Amino acid sequence: MPAATKAGDHADGAGAKAPASAWYALAILIGTTLFAFVDRQIINLIAPSLQRDLNISDLQLGMLQGLGFAFFASLAAYPIGWLSDRFGRRLVLGCCIMVWSISTAACAFQTSFTGIFAAAAGIAIGEAALTPVIFSMLPDLFPERQRNTANFIFFAVALLGAALGLALGGVTLDLLETNHGSLPAFFASMDSWRVALILVAAPGPLFVLLLSTIRMTSNSGRVAAEGEPALNNILPFLREHWRAIACIYGAIFAYSLPLGAVGAWLPVAMPRAFEGIDAASVGVQLGIAMGVGSIAGLIMAPIGIKLLRGDADLKPLRTARFYLTVASLPTLFILFAWQPWQIYAAVGVQVALLLATGALMPGVLQQLSPPHLRSRLLSLLGISGAIATGLAPMIVGAMSGLLDPDRGLLTAMVLVGLPAWIVAAILMSMARRPFVTTIAAIRG
């Protein structure tokens, strides 16, 4: 039996244990993700240098760091998912690593906003592969009983990756600033931020090489036969199982709305609602609340599944429904809070419940997706969330103008968030029966 099929053979048995090769693969995928976050966060760290040397305005910098990155990542996610399903996940991920590595290095040689924006778009396009492709690879590596564990580990790394990326990028910049004079002549003639971009891009080929050592199932290299009609057409599956798809993705969209509202507007809403509060203090307190909530959410996801009894296939949906229902309570409490700490606490609880739910969704979508469509369906996870988090700030901003000037933003956040939590919980409940039907059809 070829070595390339061993991990998949283990993954096929629901009661089997994952081999050491699966954990080795997960370690490489985690390392790849952390590498991607360093490349992404370095743009934020060198922002002052970009503004100084390239004469970039605040608006242009915002486009570079936020909207532009999100737009290109969302635009590329589904095509990358299709390519991954068509030509193999490991191959496509390797190509995307090279795309974002080359794009990061290319940023070092730009002299205008147009050039740096185009190169940053390349980073966004390459890194769009991370969520759909890696979460699609995990079912090929891990049996069902250990798949959620692998999902939770990777979800935690992805959640903490931004902080780790900032830390590693900061260390790189600091070392370069301290030792710039001792660099080789080619690098010594360049600005430190340009050298940093080249250095953080350099490990790309190494990660591609490591990726090639992962032992996948035989169908992971090329997911379905070339002539299989469903490979090129996702529509028949969507038509047949639209109820499950609509309920679950609708819930993902709905529960992403409160996150977008809080992230965009709470730093503005708190100084308006409470005297003596400035943006700096909001940032610190909100950061603490969201940090504690994030850790709690990562713990709550596996605990919720473990405590529930009944059908194992339905445990993630039932757990998510419970968390989404409970999330409406701290959201409603914001209307009656009279101290800033109460709002921060309510937001922390919301974040915990949101992330606990979010950590369950990759596993739900893995069950919902036939192998030959898995990357495409998982790409819609990020797209749904991105659209919702982009729309929520605009909706809150439009509503707040019609409300009390002091607490109008807080009220608008509740008016957006509360119905969103309730709708998400209802949709998760409605998904139960069609979800069972869909996974039964997939298993055949």
Q: Is residue 97 part of a domain?
A: yes
Query: Does the pTM of the predicted model rise above 0.85?
Result: no
DSSP string, 380-413: HHHHHHHHHHHHHHHHHHHHHTTS-TTTHHHHHH
User: Minimum mean pLDDT among 178-187, 333-342, 345-354, 358-367: which range?
Assistant: 178-187
User: In this structure, are 172 and 83 located in the same domain?
Assistant: yes
Q: Is 310 left (phi over 0), alpha (psi -120 to 50) or beta?
A: left
Q: Is residue 173 part of a domain?
A: yes
User: Minimum mean pLDDT among 112-126, 140-154, 236-250: which range?
Assistant: 140-154
What lies within 8 Å, CB to CB, of 403 at 6+ separation is 409, 411, 412
User: In this structure, are 276 and 145 located in the same domain?
Assistant: no
Task: Return the CATH number at 172.
Answer: 1.20.1250.20
User: In this structure, are 242 and 198 located in the same domain?
Assistant: no
| Alpha-helical runs (H) found in 274-406 | 279-307, 315-333, 340-368, 374-400
User: Minimum mean pLDDT among 41-45, 147-151, 282-286: which range?
Assistant: 282-286
User: In this structure, are 253 and 160 located in the same domain?
Assistant: no
Confidence of residue 408 (pLDDT cuts 50, 70, 90): confident
Predicted local confidence at residue 230, as pLDDT: 44
What would the pLDDT profile of 412-426 be if each residue is shown by its tens digit? Answer: 888 989 999 999 999
* Of the residues 178, 213, 248, the one at which a domain ends: 213
User: In this structure, are 191 and 291 located in the same domain?
Assistant: no
Smallest Cα–Cα separation from 10: which of 2, 1, 28, 22?
Answer: 22
Task: Provide the percentage of residues in the chain whose pLDDT is more than 70.
Answer: 91
Predicted local confidence at residue 329, as pLDDT: 94
| Number of domains forming the structure of the chain | 2
Task: Please report, as a single letter, which amino acid is at residue 150.
Answer: A
Instruction: In whole angstroms, give the CA distance from residue 248 to residue 163.
Output: 29
User: In this structure, are 184 and 278 located in the same domain?
Assistant: no
Residue 14 pLDDT > 60: no
Predicted local confidence at residue 280, as pLDDT: 65
Please report where in the chains the tokens 């739900």 appear, as a residue.
364
Arithmetic mean of pLDDT, 366-382: 90
Instruction: In whole angstroms, give the CA distance from residue 385 to residue 391.
Output: 10
User: In this structure, are 298 and 182 located in the same domain?
Assistant: no
Q: Is residue 312 part of a domain?
A: yes
Q: Is residue 160 part of a domain?
A: yes
Q: Name the residue range of residue 176's domain.
A: 17-213
Running DSSP on this structure, what letter comes out for residue 337?
-
* Of the residues 213, 243, 259, the one at which a domain ends: 213
* Of the residues 180, 213, 246, the one at which a domain ends: 213
Q: Number of helices (H) and strands (E) in the chain: give both, helices first.
A: 22, 0
What lies within 8 Å, CB to CB, of 234 at 6+ separation is 373, 376, 377
Higher pLDDT, 29 or 287: 29
Predicted local confidence at residue 217, as pLDDT: 62
Predicted local confidence at residue 138, as pLDDT: 92
Predicted local confidence at residue 213, as pLDDT: 93
Residue 231 pLDDT > 70: no
User: In this structure, are 114 and 256 located in the same domain?
Assistant: no
Range of 59-73, 220-234, 301-315, 350-364 with top mean pLDDT: 350-364
Predicted local confidence at residue 6, as pLDDT: 41
